Amino acid sequence: MFNLWARESALHSEVEELRSAMESMLQYSTCQSFGTDCKDLIAMIKEPHAWPSFATELEKIKTLKICFPDFKIIHIPRAQNHISDFLAKITRHNGDCALFPIISSISSIRMFASDYHFVHPETTDKMDSKSDILFAMERKIFLGQFLIWVVLLLGQLRGCKSCIEKERKALLELKKHLISLSVEWGYDTVQPTWTNDTKSDCCLWEGLECNRTSGRVIGISIGDMMFENFSSPLNIYLLQPFEDIRSLSLSVEQNGFDGFFDDVEGYKSLRRLRNLEILDLSSNRLNDSIFPFLNGASSLKTIFLHNNLIEGPFPAEEQKDLTNLELLDLSPNMLKGSLSELKDWTNLELLDLSRNFLNGSMLELKDLINLELLSLAQNSFSGPIPVEVFCEMKNLRELDLSENHFVGQLPLCLGSLKKLRVLDLSSNQFSGNLPSSFSSLESLEYLSLLNNNFKGILSLNPLANLTKLKMPTTIVHNNLQLLDFSKNDIGGLFPDNIGRLLPYLVHMNGSNNGFQRNFPSSMGEMKNISFLDLSNNNFSGNLPRSFFTGCFSLKYLKLSHNRFTGHVPPRLTNFTSLDVLRLDNNLFTGEIGVGLLSSNATLSILDMSNNLLTGSIPSWISNLSNLEFLLLSDNNIQGTVPPSLGNMSSVSFLDLSGNLLSGAIPSYVGHYVRYLFLRDNNFTGPIPDTLLARRVRILDLRNNKLSGSIPEFVSTDLEDPPELSILLLRGNSLIGSIPRQLCDLRTIRILDLSHNKLSGYIPSCLYNLSFDLGVAEEDTNIYIGRDYNPTSFQLEYYKSTFVVEKLVVKYTTYHEIAINFATKERYDSYTGGTEFSEGILGYMYGMDLSSNELSGVIPQEIGNLSRVRALNLSHNYLSGSIPSSFSNLKDIESLDLSYNMLHGSISQQLTSLISLAVFDVSYNNLSGMVPQGRQFNTFDKSSYVGNPLLCGLPTNISCDQTTERSEEEDNGGGEEEDEEAVVDMLVFYYSTGSTYLTALICILLLNYVL
């Protein structure tokens, strides 16, 4: 057993060395020979089917051989190993000769020469005559073979040539044409190495490849450019001098080519390039007018038309002469309709039609039985999967049908695609369960079923390929590394034996389903699992201890929105690599588990919000040295904020809202945190000045017991001003006036100072806030997220020139911010900060100063806040009239001025506010006619109640009646004034007489007494 293992390990190394040598040689030449002293390696290359245990490695070699049309591998005796290594060292110092890649390739393959060495006779005193004879013979052999290789080397050096003059001139003409299409400031960047210097070898120019024997150009790549106009056709007649060209890359960065033309040869222009095999036209603005030109290049094997403007039906008929085609990339474009007949493309191995608008029948694909990669993702194909098409493609290694409208159950015959490594069926309408035949997909490494209609109980038995190896017990043997069945309607119990069925799984996403009951204990057997998302299900019960100790490779764990209970994480936790832990919206109890310290050097996101946690914030939490996001909101956590939290310089997002925390808000909290949420607690005392420092972007202190005034902070650094975007101080006991320093917060989007005891005037300088168009949009963007790349798979992912690459699965973890803000007469929640966009929060601008004790007039400057969507000044003591400048609030949706002492009329100009949905001026002293037209026709009388002098619709008070009533009140008031004057005179007379009489009586009494 050991000898067999050792032999296979050595052979694996041989194959890997050959693959590495082939990849390194691609940059020099495609016509190369490779040598090895391993005869088994040569046999494997000739008959790969006879070596099934090397299938994966040999498939990579087969893929690379496509780039080596003259591929040859020969046997080199072991005795020649030193020679090839020596010559390789020499030729590495001379890159001008084609012998370099040959020798380098030979020496790159590992040679077993450890048992062959030279010992100089003078190094030992005990060498017998036989040893001397052997040494002499070996030395002669070495010298003789060395001379042979030197002769070959000199011959190769003599054969190396520079480019021919005809092609040099053609290259300079091509450069001149490209400059004529480029932007003026980019002239110097157009092929700067292509010069008129006759001493310069054009084969060494950037973007060129030459045949080192003939000196003719075989590869041209123009590189990134930027064209001046949208009309930039390429004159392909300029390419005709390059008769030996094999590879042509015309991919441009911006404003690329929009077509071809040849005033001499016309559509037949490319026919003269008889050796052209690879054509890259990606990232241009080409349309279907180029297909007649392409059809002339019948030698083409690879065409890239990725990211162009090709529209209309699939262009098979226009390309019928391209019978040698092996790779065709038409993604993304604007192709529409159904596929055309493809019977002429039987050699096709890769076809990418993703991100188009194709639909209809797919039966036209049935002749493409040699396909290895097929992508139809993000189109409009519908109906069941056509069995007669896909199930006959026995060579398929990657099949991507994601984001279409396929329906029905998965056909059993998919299990016959034994070479399949990547299968993506996500975002369709498939139903049923996994076919039992999937157990035959032994090569499958990536399976995505997310966002379909799979229902019922999940059965993973088809994914378990049980094989008895040469061991006493039966074990599971399966290559599956990625499994995604999220966003379906799968219910029932989660398979309890999943850890034993899929022991090598690296990535599993089963979120947004209906799984119930307990978390399977066998999950602890998944030693390789690094990404696990089972959020948004109905799991319940405690998490098994074996899970916390066995899954030591976990980097991303999300179990949010379930009904898990118990204490987490336990003390014995072995999550030594954990980066993201999301346990929010469950029923976990007890204190925050000390088991988190097992991830003290790696954990960056911890979310345990919306649970039933108790106790206090542990002081040891500062040992999580890499923590960036800490979310403990909506629990029953008590006590004060520990001082150790102030030492966590890595924390930028802190949410302790909705707990029972008390005491003063520590000043050190604002040193490093950028997003601070402390709402709905019992904090007391003043607001620390540091919370309005430069770093804080969102500050939420709503509904506490804070007192004192709003800090009058002063920004001393004009080049690095405060970045505060959202300031929420609602529902406290703040007093004093609104500080003018708030006007310096030019990035403010939402300002909520309502339900306090603020007094004084509204500062007119508030128009400086970002509600004004003077502040750039990018200065106020809010995005809370971080790219997270937990999983990288070594898969056979065929891309561009069939070079083996890694298939990397990337995810972005983020936290969605919800900001409650009063608008449109209700307390709405505005969310943002997702991985796709900022959501509604990104478009929200609002100011709420309601329910305070503010007085004075409303500043006219407030009308300059042209981007504000909600403005609430209600329940204050504001006087004066409604500013006429309010007609400039073009984006206003909610305007509440109720319960003040405003007077005057409502300007008719306010009817120009076409976005206004809520308007409330009730309980003021307004008068005159209510404006009519546009949005004002939608408001009812509740918007104007408490203003008895307003008239017209919808008050049901006639403006004529109001005028008469006003005149009557004026006249009645005059009579009352006259009557009051008469009464006043009478009172004056009576009071004067009584006073005189009283004084007289007092005098008489005094005289009588005396």
Residue 844: which pLDDT band, with cuts at 50, 70 and 90?
A: confident
Burial class of 417 by CB neighbour count within 10 A (0 to 12, 13 to 18, 19+): buried
- The answer, yes or no, to whether residue 223 has pLDDT greater than 90, is no
The predicted pLDDT at position 118 comes to 33
pLDDT tens sequence across 933-963: 888 999 998 999 999 999 988 888 888 765 5
Asked if the peptide bond before residue 544 counts as cis, ω within 30 degrees of 0, the response is no
- Residue 473 confidence class, pLDDT cut points 50, 70, 90: very low
Tell me whether residue 791 is in a domain.
no
Q: 855 to each of 375, 464, 742, 896, how far by Cα in Å?
A: 67, 75, 18, 16
Residue 678 has pLDDT above 90, yes or no: yes
Asked if pLDDT for residue 184 goes beyond 50, the answer is yes
Please say if the pLDDT value at position 1007 is more than 60: no
744 and 609: one domain? Answer: no
According to the model, what pLDDT value does residue 764 have? 86
pLDDT at 143: 54
Residue 889 maps to a domain: yes
CA–CA gap between residue 37 and residue 471 (Å, rounded)? 34
Average pLDDT over residues 802-816: 44
pLDDT tens profile 491-520? 888 888 888 888 888 898 999 998 888 998
The band of 78, judged by pLDDT with boundaries at 50, 70 and 90, is low
112 neighbors 100 (Cβ within 8 angstroms): no
Instruction: Answer yes or no: is 890 within a domain.
Output: yes
Residue 453 has a pLDDT of 86
**Confidence label for 782 from pLDDT (cuts 50, 70 and 90):** very low
Domain count, the chain: 3
Report pLDDT digits (tens) over 556-582: 999 999 999 999 888 888 899 999 999
User: Would you say residue 738 lies in a domain?
Assistant: yes
Examine the fold and report which residue of 595, 613, 631 is the final residue of a domain before the chain moves on. 613
Query: Percent helix, strand, coil in the chain (nearest 5)?
Result: 30, 25, 45
Task: Tell whether 386 is covered by a domain.
Answer: no
Residues 580 and 719 in one domain: no
Using one digit for the tens of pLDDT, what is the confidence trace for 52-75?
667 777 877 776 776 676 777 877
- 795, part of any domain: no
Last residue of a domain, one of 579, 613, 647: 613
Task: Give the domain extent around 715.
Answer: 707-785+816-957
DSSP track, 90-142: HHTT-TTSTHHHHHHHHHHSPP--TT-----GGG-S---HHHHHHHHHHHHHH
999 lies in some domain: no
Same domain flag for 7 and 151:
yes
pLDDT tens sequence across 873-894: 999 999 999 999 999 999 899 9
- Provide the pLDDT for residue 195: 86
Q: Kindly state whether residue 297 falls inside one of the protein's structural domains.
A: no
Q: Which two tokens stand for residue 99?
A: 């012998």
Please give the pLDDT value at position 714: 55
* Mean pLDDT of the 847-851 span: 93
Mean of pLDDT over the chain: 77
Q: In whole angstroms, give the CA distance from residue 367 to residue 364.
A: 7
pLDDT at 273 over 80: yes
User: What count of residues does the chain have?
Assistant: 1010
pTM to 2 decimal places: 0.70
Cβ neighbours of residue 140 under 8 Å, at least 6 residues apart?
A: none
Residues 711 and 609 in one domain: no
**Cα 923 to Cα 945: distance, rounded to the nearest angstrom:** 6
Q: What is the pLDDT of residue 874?
A: 94
Label residue 114 by pLDDT band (50, 70, 90). Answer: very low
Write out pLDDT tens, residues 728-779.
Answer: 999 999 999 998 888 877 788 888 999 999 999 999 888 777 554 333 333 3
The CATH number given to whatever domain includes residue 884 is 3.80.10.10
Provide the phi-psi class of 639: left if phi over 0, else alpha when psi is between -120 and 50, else beta: left
* Domain match, 583 and 715 both: no
The pLDDT value recorded for residue 789 is 44
Same-domain pairing of 607 and 715: no
